[in-house]
Structure 1
Amino acid sequence: MRGEPSCPKCGGRVRAPGLFADSWQCDIHGTVHPLQPVVPPSVEALGVVVGRTHVPVWMPWPLPIGWLFTGVACAGDDRNGGRATAVACSGPGPLGGVGELILVAEELGVGLGARYAGLPGPDPGSRLCVDKPPDAKVLAAGRPTPLWHVGGVPGDRAVFAGEARGLWLWAIVWPELSGLLLYDEVVLTDLREAGAEIDLVPCGALSPRILS
């Protein structure tokens, strides 16, 4: 993902707007919101994404004990702003070992959440059974937000999805048993509203998950 924009759905190369198209184009998926290159996690990198996006930048805040911010990605361009964001965090898993979490906020059809979930996408579709009680609940910007298991994902992860602020909210967790994190009521903050507290975010090494 690093170096130049890519397709948020497949990671392939994209063509910039030009003479024959006024939007970014992927040879496979057509018009897309380009995924910008991922840079090492820092407060400055987080601030760039926060400043340009039109969708939330969700992060558990305060972070669980021992957890660190380990990467951020944004799909969109300078003309239209960010249409999807992904924030990675890593720390001690609830059953030992290292747990990793990616939170994605996106508009309908962008496909970034499905990509991290390991699904063809672009949205959860029939894999999300909202006719039953939710499998997890988070508090997103002060509002109780139900999340449901997404079926058909690779066995190394647990995937939850729901709706927050009229947009998709995905939570992808590695390994699968680290999904237990979502059974406690996790508090999510939209970092666009964090103000000076964003300077307090502890940063770790770049997660390979957000590059995959």
Structure 2
Amino acid sequence: MRGEPSCPKCGGRVRAPGLFSDSWQCDVHGTVHPLQPVVPPSVEALGVVVKRAQVPVWMPWPLPLGWLFTGVATAGDDRTGGRATAVACSGPGPVGGMGEMLLVAEELGVGLGARYAGMPGPDPGPHLSVDRSPQVKVHAAGRPTPLWHVESAPPNRAVFAGEARGLWLWAILWPEQSGLLMYDELVLTDLRDAGGEVEMVPCGALSPRILS
């Protein structure tokens, strides 16, 4: 588990603002919103991320049967707030075995979703065939939200992406067969709007996917 902020695009070390720069800097990617250290999943940790997030904190709610909240990550600092969030959930896969899901909300150019998707970044736009009908629709904060299947993603996962609330929304699932969950018109809640319901989220063990 990491103890220092890192680059959301590559995971490399970043330099804090100082005498010569008022922003976080990665040697490879320049100015970035730093990815904060991941802590074990708990209602308290989730509440901290929700409170400081400037972007949605998406979670399937209610969670699919048998699924648990298994981690949260955020990119940003105390000055800017969370500019990207990633929520991990794990549970029984639709065709057996365990499935894992990461939902990422982010501003343009942050690059956290592309990193988890294992794809060139920072944004999903170049990978989306928006001239074709979207493969799936989710209900995000009560609105039908189209997502496109990213066919160029690595073969061990299913990746879907689109826009919700004017920001990028990524859904990344392992193994690839777990992508079938996205065809059930999943209901996503922005936990910033959930109020006291956040305290009811069932927690499991930390997902290694959110550390990768």
Common fold: TM-score over 0.5: yes
Alpha-carbon distance in structure 2 between the residues aligned to 1:159 and 1:135: 11
Q: Deviations over 1:57-91 (max 9, x none)?
A: 00000000100000000000000100000000000
SS of aligned partner of 1:108: coil
SS of aligned partner of 1:134: coil
Q: Deviations over 1:14-62 (max 9, x none)?
A: 0000001100000000000000000000000000000101000000000
Mean CA deviation greater in 23-32 or 147-156? 147-156
Instruction: Kindly indicate whether residue 17 of structure 2 is the aligned counterpart of residue 17 of structure 1.
Output: yes
Alpha-carbon distance in structure 1 between the residues aligned to 2:151 and 2:122: 14
Offset, 1:153: 1.4
Runs of 4+ in 1 over 2 A off after TM superposition: none
SS of aligned partner of 2:199: helix
Instruction: Kindly indicate whether residue 89 of structure 2 is the aligned counterpart of residue 89 of structure 1.
Output: yes
Q: Deviations over 1:146-169 (max 9, x none)?
A: 000113211100000000000000
Amino acid at match of 2:124: P
SS of aligned partner of 2:134: coil
2:130 is aligned to 130
1:198 is aligned to 198
Alpha-carbon distance in structure 2 between the residues aligned to 1:139 and 1:32: 30
Mapping of residues 96-135 of structure 1, within 5 Å: 96-135=96-135
Amino acid at match of 1:103: L
Amino acid at match of 1:104: V
SS of aligned partner of 1:148: strand
SS of aligned partner of 1:40: coil
Amino acid at match of 2:105: A
Offset, 1:190: 0.3
Instruction: Kindly indicate whether residue 63 of structure 2 is the aligned counterpart of residue 63 of structure 1.
Output: yes
Offset, 1:127: 1.2
CA RMSD of aligned residues (A): 0.7
Amino acid at match of 1:69: F
Alpha-carbon distance in structure 2 between the residues aligned to 1:150 and 1:27: 29
Amino acid at match of 1:75: A
Amino acid at match of 1:158: A
TM-score by length of 2: 0.99
1:150 is aligned to 150
Amino acid at match of 1:7: C
Alpha-carbon distance in structure 2 between the residues aligned to 1:78 and 1:125: 29
1:54 is aligned to 54
TM-score by length of 1: 0.99
Offset, 1:125: 2.8
SS of aligned partner of 1:62: coil
Q: Which runs of 5+ in 2 are unaligned?
A: none
Alpha-carbon distance in structure 1 between the residues aligned to 2:8 and 2:33: 7
Alpha-carbon distance in structure 1 between the residues aligned to 2:49 and 2:198: 12
Amino acid at match of 1:164: A
1:209 is aligned to 209
Q: Deviations over 1:101-149 (max 9, x none)?
A: 0000000000000000001200113211011111111000000000001
